[in-house]
Amino acid sequence: MITIIDYGSGNINAISNIYDILKIPYMIASTPKQLENSERIILPGVGSFDHCMDKLNRSGLKEILTKKVMIDKVPILGICIGLHLMAEKSEEGKLLGLGWIKGVVKKFDKNIIRHKPKMPHMGWNSVKIINRLDLFKGVNLDKGFYFIHSYFIDNLNKENIMTTTNYGNTFVSGIHSSNILAVQFHPEKSHSNGMKLLKNFSKI
């Protein structure tokens, strides 16, 4: 059973609609009790870092979520801001992140983006897989995924880089560490590629 975390942020309906189409069982959790028997978890996020982190802190889900991920080693997929929350901190806010992954979320520097200076980075872009081929089985890498963001994770250990993407310069667009997976793009907005990725996650 896949558990989608509802802490007040994220495209929960879009994700659940995909699993409805795929006929893959899921549940939406907004209380700690609903998380107790989770076998796989999705942590979405839309908006600013502090806004989402504050909502997660207030939800009562943070402690059990950390236990499920860091102690019980339940597979988790972070999406967009869900990835950012897994880091230590972000330039976008003052609150501390979950700290599950070593790294700091930084804003794109327009001065060093040579070819596409528009912000946010919005639209389709390809990804280069560095690790975790199982999550990307059957995905059209040239078509890629849909992005919308102005921040990205940096200062990572190299072994935690799952995918990279080029937007004038190369940035990390996916991270992994054991049971922890997270992507900067939006699978729920990425049509067939997103469906394949979410289906693949259901089998991890």
**In DSSP terms, which residues pair with 5 in a beta bridge?**
29
Q: Which two tokens stand for residue 109?
A: 């520097």
Note whether 196 and 137 are within 8 A (CB).
Answer: yes
DSSP 198: H
Q: Which two tokens stand for residue 168?
A: 């004038």
Active site residues: 80, 186, 188
Distance CA 9, CA 168 (A): 29
Note whether 121 and 150 are within 8 A (CB).
Answer: yes
**In DSSP terms, which residues pair with 2 in a beta bridge?**
26, 40
Helices marked H in the chain — which ranges? 12-22, 32-35, 49-59, 62-66, 81-85, 191-201
Helices marked H in 44-167 — which ranges? 49-59, 62-66, 81-85
Q: What sign does the CA torsion over 43, 133, 39, 72 have?
A: negative
Q: Which two tokens stand for residue 174?
A: 């996916």
